[in-house]
Amino acid sequence: MARIRGPRLAVLLALAALAAVAAAAAVGEARSQSTYIIHLAPDHPALTVARANGGGAAVLGRLLPRRLRAPRPRVLYSYQHAATGIAARLTPEQAAHAAAGEGVLAVYPDQARQLHTTHTPAFLHLTEAAGLLPAATRGASSAVVGVLDTGLYPIGRGSFAAPAGLGPAPASFSGGCVSTGSFNASAYCNSKLIGAKVFYQGYEAALGHPIDETKESKSPLDTEGHGTHTASTAAGSPVAGAGFFDYAKGQAVGMDAGARIAAYKICWKSGCYDSDILAAMDEAVADGVDVISLSVGAGGYAPSFFQDSIAIGAFHAVSKGIVVSCSAGNSGPGEYTATNIAPWILTVGASTIDREFPADVVLGDGRVFGGVSLYAGDPLNSTQLPLVFAGDCGSRLCLLGELDPKKVAGKIVLCERGKTARVEKGAAVKLAGGAGMILANTEASGEELVADSHLVPATMVGQKFGDKIKYYVQTDPSPTATIVFRGTVIGKSPSAPRVASFSSRGPNYRAREILKPDVIAPGVNILAAWTGAASPTDLDIDSRRVEFNIISGTSMSCPHVSGLAALLRQAHPDWSPAAIKSALMTTAYNLDNSGETIKDLATGVESTPFVRGAGHVDPNSALDPGLVYDAGTDDYVAFLCTLGYPPSLISIFTKDSSVADCSRKFARSGDLNYPAFAAVFSSYKDSVTYHRVVRNVGSNSSAVYESKIVSPSGVDVTVSPSKLVFDDKNRSLAYEITIAVSGNPVIVDAKYSFGSISWSDGVHNVTSPIAVTWPSNGGSAAM
Ligand SMILES: *[C@@H]1O[C@H](CO)[C@@H](O)[C@H](O)[C@H]1NC(C)=O
Ligand SMILES: *[C@@H]1O[C@H](CO)[C@@H](O)[C@H](O)[C@H]1NC(C)=O
Ligand SMILES: *[C@@H]1O[C@H](CO)[C@@H](O)[C@H](O)[C@H]1NC(C)=O
Ligand SMILES: *[C@@H]1O[C@H](CO)[C@@H](O)[C@H](O)[C@H]1NC(C)=O
Ligand SMILES: *[C@@H]1O[C@H](CO)[C@@H](O)[C@H](O)[C@H]1NC(C)=O
């Protein structure tokens, strides 16, 4: 390793000082500068100096010639644990020069990621009835869940109070709470909330000016609500009498109520920047969290693994034994929309639970149309009121300020969904003097219903009912309506779980032979703690403040699984992140509460493994899965090599050498020891063989597992051996599975076929989905 010598060091330190001055005052920064993340070879000589003087400025001294040192580059972060490199403000010219530098693996522009919530406030109460609050959540726990989100609002929130008997933070945790701005660590942190940090260098740099502290808090304090919600879902303490107004009263509790929470604030009003995310992952790894929960990701298609800070940071975290659980995204129902799809990440889709909030429309002619609502104000008391169509009153979408008060005052207004937030449409009706709202879907959203905390008496109906109500308004000489709110109804929904239309789907945009998402978990109408600094709708016109809120999104499903992973980490300290993920996947269930395959709300029919992954998480079964499919860093490197990434780029993920060793490759990327199978056929004669190794983690040292195959249509699946005879606990055995087009000529009408393989010893069923993509189905992404 090269050493930096005296004179050079002086120059570097001087540059560091200049950079520090620049950092202190963001003023004077050239407009042309933007943030870049620079990944360096782990043995890059500049790193030693960078670390010695506590910053990454030295790195730039090595990378930029004197002529390119103006405008002054500014270093935002230096990464050591979740990546190796820095984030800095550079001109495109400086960035290009740096990219060509020796030992520079890659230079990427910083990007804003999104929170994975549908902006659909709704209310629901999650209880033990959903079967997802395992008894094991009671009592002390040493697991630490790192929640990377909008921060956390602990003030007066029982969810973040330390339950009696919870001991001090685990000795393995070296993080802590920062006291800054409106966040008072000595008042807010305790043995439940043991970490609170804030990351805004990338955000502020992108803004071009300091954060407006009248609008958001430059501290770990959550002024948005999302992070408070996700953290309490994963590991909140039990709170009795939770609920929203009269809806769904009961106990609220996180999945792992005994786990500790470390909050890392990375998301701000305009998004969550890669440079800040990577910095937070860097610290979370160094702090020693057990699980990272990240309900954030790309809004569009998944970026390639080596341009994705979440994938890069997660790789390092997983190599340290940390489980990284992420939301799949809310870009469904289109295919290839799942994000956070690297195989080392646990990718979570969203499904419904068994609870609804009906609110009926009763028309003047006596007809009743069912809808949903979480309106919590004064009811209409069955009073029939004049009904108008918003399209006749200036704005069919009920945009703020566009409704004619003369036409809507005192009336119920039929508005169409689209363009603006649903709750905002109700606000527009209210501001124009309207008495209530019926929000109707159009073809774009069909029959998907979302219960919202409207500011006027309002309900939402599907497209079919909406069209009928519209016809009534347009044909009846004096149309009237009222809305009857029926509160909270449990166990009557057609079936549960169902996969939300918004939940992002596979196939995997970056690696089609790795099935994604991995699992589904509750993500629709989830009740959890909320900030006191914003309304439940996050609208300024909404002056309400609530301790709990109900929102929907894969953002909500992810922390459920993060909490379950924390429980599994505690129950099985020697399991790797891959083993924990395997346990959750192979024990997931695929039938709903009516005994049929879990349905997809986007289509109304059966979901597929590209929609529900391996199925819905089943925590109690995951505690004892029988067998696990394990994998480690070396396997993931071999996987990346197999995908064809150049070794120099793979070095972004590894930290042990400057050029990754690609001497080990799989025959195909799907040969990674994954607990699911995705075969991509290139012809109607194709056949793929995948290799797997399973480890006996059950209590029976002489367990015998037999395979049971459900072949996808048009496909023959064979397994060898078909019986696995173990002779000891923790012993591993290999098998191979061949997925081939059936011998006889087949005409397969579908783009995909699905099946499964299950290994059973009579006590455990270890089940993996099999997905087949037929030829000429394009869609594959470039790296
Ligand atoms: C922070 O909280 C502690 C403990 O409640 C209190 O003593 C202290 O005065 C608070 N500090 C500020 C700046 O409010
Ligand atoms: C419905 O009845 C309640 C209770 O009597 C009353 O407070 C409320 O104002 C009534 N609402 C309307 C729209 O008349
Ligand atoms: C372990 O598995 C073997 C083979 O299936 C079976 O015969 C035996 O009864 C099992 N032992 C226990 C304790 O379940
Ligand atoms: C079981 O095997 C795995 C992988 O070889 C190892 O990491 C783990 O420590 C073993 N556990 C026990 C209890 O021996
Ligand atoms: C395993 O699957 C079979 C059906 O294939 C089912 O009858 C049995 O109840 C399952 N066992 C467990 C423990 O889930």
Whole-angstrom distance, CA of residue 691 vs CA of residue 673: 7
Ligand at shortest distance from the CA of 706: 3
Nearest CA residue ID for atom 3, ligand 3: 703
| Tally of structural domains, the chain | 5
- Across 120-124, 304-308, 550-554, least confident range: 120-124
* Amino acid in position 556: M
Query: Residue 118 has what DSSP assignment?
Result: B
Would the CB of 574 count as within 6 Å of ligand 4?
yes
**315 alpha carbon – ligand 3 mean position (Å):** 38
Asked if the structure places residue 26 within a domain, the reply is no
Whole-angstrom distance, CA of residue 602 vs CA of residue 498: 10
pTM (predicted TM-score): 0.88
Res 142 pLDDT > 80:
no
Tell me the torsion sign for CA atoms 314, 319, 324, 326. Answer: positive
* 378 plus 308 within the same structural domain: no
Nearest CA residue ID for atom 4, ligand 1: 187
**760 alpha carbon – ligand 5 mean position (Å):** 8
| pLDDT band at residue 659 using 50, 70 and 90 as cut-offs | low
**455 alpha carbon – ligand 2 mean position (Å):** 15
pLDDT of residue 21: 32
Peptide bond into 721 cis (omega under 30): yes
Q: Mean pLDDT throughout 376-380?
A: 92
Would the CB of 621 count as within 6 Å of ligand 5?
no
pLDDT of residue 240: 86
pLDDT of residue 1: 26
Q: Mean pLDDT throughout 233-240?
A: 90
Question: Which residues have C-beta within 8 Å of that of residue 150, sequence separation ≥ 6?
Answer: 115, 222, 223, 224, 225, 226, 227, 228, 265, 267, 268
From 627, 702, 760, mutation site for ligand 3 pocket: most ligand atoms within 8 A of C-beta = 702
Asked if the structure places residue 114 within a domain, the reply is no
pLDDT of residue 537: 86
pLDDT of residue 126: 29
244-267 per-position pLDDT tens digit: 887 777 788 888 888 999 999 999
Would the CB of 378 count as within 6 Å of ligand 2?
yes
* Amino acid in position 13: L
Peptide bond into 517 cis (omega under 30): yes
Res 489 pLDDT > 90:
no
* 210 plus 340 within the same structural domain: yes
Given the CA of residue 435, which atom of ligand 2 is nearest to it? 13
Q: Is 348 helix (H, G, I), strand (E, B) or coil?
A: strand
Q: Higher pLDDT residue, 127 or 515? A: 515
Query: Residue 296 has what DSSP assignment?
Result: E
* Amino acid in position 33: Q
Nearest CA residue ID for atom 11, ligand 1: 184
Q: Higher pLDDT residue, 399 or 63? A: 399
- Across 17-31, 222-236, 443-457, least confident range: 17-31
Tell me the torsion sign for CA atoms 281, 286, 287, 292. Answer: positive
Q: What is the 3-state secondary structure (H, E, C) of 748-780?
A: CCCCEEEEEEEEECCCCEEEEEEEEECCCCCCC
Whole-angstrom distance, CA of residue 339 vs CA of residue 67: 40
Would the CB of 761 count as within 6 Å of ligand 3?
yes
Ligand at shortest distance from the CA of 709: 5
Measuring CA to CA, which residue among 661, 665, 518 is closest to residue 580? 518
Strands 704-710, 752-760: pairing is antiparallel
Question: Which residues have C-beta within 8 Å of that of residue 633, sequence separation ≥ 6?
Answer: 315, 318, 319, 654
Q: What would the DSSP string read from start to end of 557-621?
A: HHHHHHHHHHHHHHH-TT--HHHHHHHHHHT-B-B-TTSSBPEETTTSSB--HHHHTT-B--HHH
Would the CB of 379 count as within 6 Å of ligand 2?
yes
Asked if the structure places residue 653 within a domain, the reply is yes
From 730, 731, 732, 733, mutation site for ligand 4 pocket: most ligand atoms within 8 A of C-beta = 730
Ligand at shortest distance from the CA of 382: 2
From 246, 378, 480, 485, mutation site for ligand 2 pocket: most ligand atoms within 8 A of C-beta = 378
What is the phi/psi pair of residue 105, to 5°?
A: -80, -40
Would the CB of 385 count as within 6 Å of ligand 2?
no
Range with top average pLDDT, 19-33, 396-410, 487-501: 396-410
Res 522 pLDDT > 60:
yes
Indicate the residue among 427, 454, 484 that finishes a domain: 484
Query: Other C-beta atoms within 10 Å of 28: how many?
Result: 9
pLDDT of residue 49: 60
**480 alpha carbon – ligand 5 mean position (Å):** 54
**Residue 615 belongs to domain with CATH number:** 3.40.50.200
Res 121 pLDDT > 60:
no
Given the CA of residue 457, which atom of ligand 2 is nearest to it? 13
**574 alpha carbon – ligand 4 mean position (Å):** 7
* 208 plus 331 within the same structural domain: yes
433-456 per-position pLDDT tens digit: 999 999 999 887 777 788 899 999
Res 780 pLDDT > 60:
no
Indicate the residue among 455, 484, 513 that finishes a domain: 484
Nearest CA residue ID for atom 4, ligand 4: 730
Would the CB of 730 count as within 6 Å of ligand 4?
yes
Ligand at shortest distance from the CA of 188: 1
Range of the domain at 64: 31-109
* 526 plus 604 within the same structural domain: yes
Ligand at shortest distance from the CA of 697: 4
Given the CA of residue 184, which atom of ligand 1 is nearest to it? 1
Asked if the structure places residue 13 within a domain, the reply is no
Q: Mean pLDDT throughout 697-705?
A: 96
Q: What are 58's two structure tokens? A: 């030295």
Indicate the residue among 594, 623, 652 that finishes a domain: 623
pLDDT averaged over every residue in the chain: 87
> What stretches of 64-132 show up as alpha helix (H) in DSSP?
92-99
Asked if the structure places residue 393 within a domain, the reply is yes
pLDDT of residue 12: 26
Ligand at shortest distance from the CA of 724: 3
Q: Mean pLDDT throughout 316-333?
A: 95
| pLDDT band at residue 748 using 50, 70 and 90 as cut-offs | low
Would the CB of 724 count as within 6 Å of ligand 3?
no
Q: Do 369 and 361 form a contact (C-beta atoms < 8 A)?
A: yes
Q: What are 226's two structure tokens? A: 């999302």
181-216 per-position pLDDT tens digit: 899 999 999 999 999 999 999 999 999 999 999 999
What are residue 767's DSSP bridge partners?
758
Res 136 pLDDT > 60:
no
* 473 plus 541 within the same structural domain: no
Question: Which stretch of DSSP H or E encloses residue 738?
Answer: strand 732-741
* 753 plus 725 within the same structural domain: yes
Res 615 pLDDT > 90:
yes
**431 alpha carbon – ligand 2 mean position (Å):** 20
From 705, 765, 766, 768, mutation site for ligand 5 pocket: most ligand atoms within 8 A of C-beta = 765
* 467 plus 322 within the same structural domain: no
Measuring CA to CA, which residue among 98, 111, 96, 88 is closest to residue 63? 98
pLDDT of residue 620: 84
pLDDT of residue 166: 85
Q: Mean pLDDT throughout 710-725?
A: 96
- Across 77-86, 117-126, 295-304, 628-637, least confident range: 117-126
Q: Residues for the chain: how many in total? A: 783
Nearest CA residue ID for atom 2, ligand 5: 765
Q: How far is CA 279 from CA 15, 36, 198, 327, 372, in A?
A: 22, 13, 10, 19, 41
Q: What are 241's two structure tokens? A: 């009498």
Q: What are 646's two structure tokens? A: 């150049």
Q: How far is CA 315 from CA 24, 349, 739, in A?
A: 32, 20, 30
What are residue 489's DSSP bridge partners?
356
The interaxial angle of helices 554-571 and 226-235, nearest 10 deg, is: 30
* 281 plus 179 within the same structural domain: yes
* 131 plus 207 within the same structural domain: yes
pLDDT of residue 312: 95
Q: Mean pLDDT throughout 531-559?
A: 91
Q: How far is CA 243 from the centre of its chain?
A: 24
* 446 plus 365 within the same structural domain: yes
Q: Do 628 and 692 form a contact (C-beta atoms < 8 A)?
A: no
Measuring CA to CA, which residue among 333, 634, 678 is closest to residue 510? 678
* Amino acid in position 152: L
Q: Mean pLDDT throughout 45-69?
A: 71
Would the CB of 765 count as within 6 Å of ligand 5?
yes
Given the CA of residue 701, which atom of ligand 3 is nearest to it? 1
| pLDDT band at residue 756 using 50, 70 and 90 as cut-offs | very high
**Residue 414 belongs to domain with CATH number:** 3.50.30.30
pLDDT of residue 325: 98
Would the CB of 540 count as within 6 Å of ligand 4?
no
Given the CA of residue 576, which atom of ligand 4 is nearest to it? 7
Query: Other C-beta atoms within 10 Å of 300: how many?
Result: 12
pLDDT of residue 18: 29
Query: Other C-beta atoms within 10 Å of 530: how many?
Result: 29
Measuring CA to CA, which residue among 104, 75, 109, 112 is closest to residue 92? 109
Tokens 């983690």, located at residue: 697
From 760, 766, 767, mutation site for ligand 5 pocket: most ligand atoms within 8 A of C-beta = 760
**625 alpha carbon – ligand 3 mean position (Å):** 16
pLDDT of residue 72: 86
Given the CA of residue 763, which atom of ligand 5 is nearest to it? 13
Would the CB of 540 count as within 6 Å of ligand 2?
no
**581 alpha carbon – ligand 3 mean position (Å):** 26
pLDDT of residue 53: 54
Measuring CA to CA, which residue among 291, 299, 268, 129 is closest to residue 202? 268
**702 alpha carbon – ligand 3 mean position (Å):** 6
pLDDT of residue 183: 96
pLDDT of residue 782: 36
* 663 plus 680 within the same structural domain: no
Question: Which residues have C-beta within 8 Å of that of residue 111, sequence separation ≥ 6?
Answer: 273, 274, 298, 303
Asked if the structure places residue 745 within a domain, the reply is yes
Q: Mean pLDDT throughout 313-317?
A: 96
**Residue 703 belongs to domain with CATH number:** 2.60.40.2310
Provide, rounded to the nearest whole percent, the portion of the chain with pLDDT above 70: 88
329-342 per-position pLDDT tens digit: 998 889 999 999 99
Asked if the structure places residue 21 within a domain, the reply is no
From 375, 381, 484, mutation site for ligand 2 pocket: most ligand atoms within 8 A of C-beta = 381
Whole-angstrom distance, CA of residue 591 vs CA of residue 692: 26
Q: Higher pLDDT residue, 140 or 227? A: 227
pLDDT of residue 4: 23
Asked if the structure places residue 12 within a domain, the reply is no
Query: Other C-beta atoms within 10 Å of 664: how many?
Result: 12
Whole-angstrom distance, CA of residue 263 vs CA of residue 176: 10
Tell me the torsion sign for CA atoms 17, 19, 20, 24. Answer: positive
Q: Torsion-angle region of residue 58: left (phi > 0), alpha (psi -120 to 50) or beta?
A: alpha
Whole-angstrom distance, CA of residue 415 vs CA of residue 422: 10
- Across 8-17, 341-350, 410-419, 607-616, least confident range: 8-17
* 308 plus 419 within the same structural domain: no
pLDDT of residue 174: 96
Q: Higher pLDDT residue, 72 or 732? A: 732
Just list the catalytic residues: 149, 226, 555
Res 725 pLDDT > 90:
yes
pLDDT of residue 337: 95
Tokens 């009795």, located at residue: 240
Q: Do 624 and 567 form a contact (C-beta atoms < 8 A)?
A: no
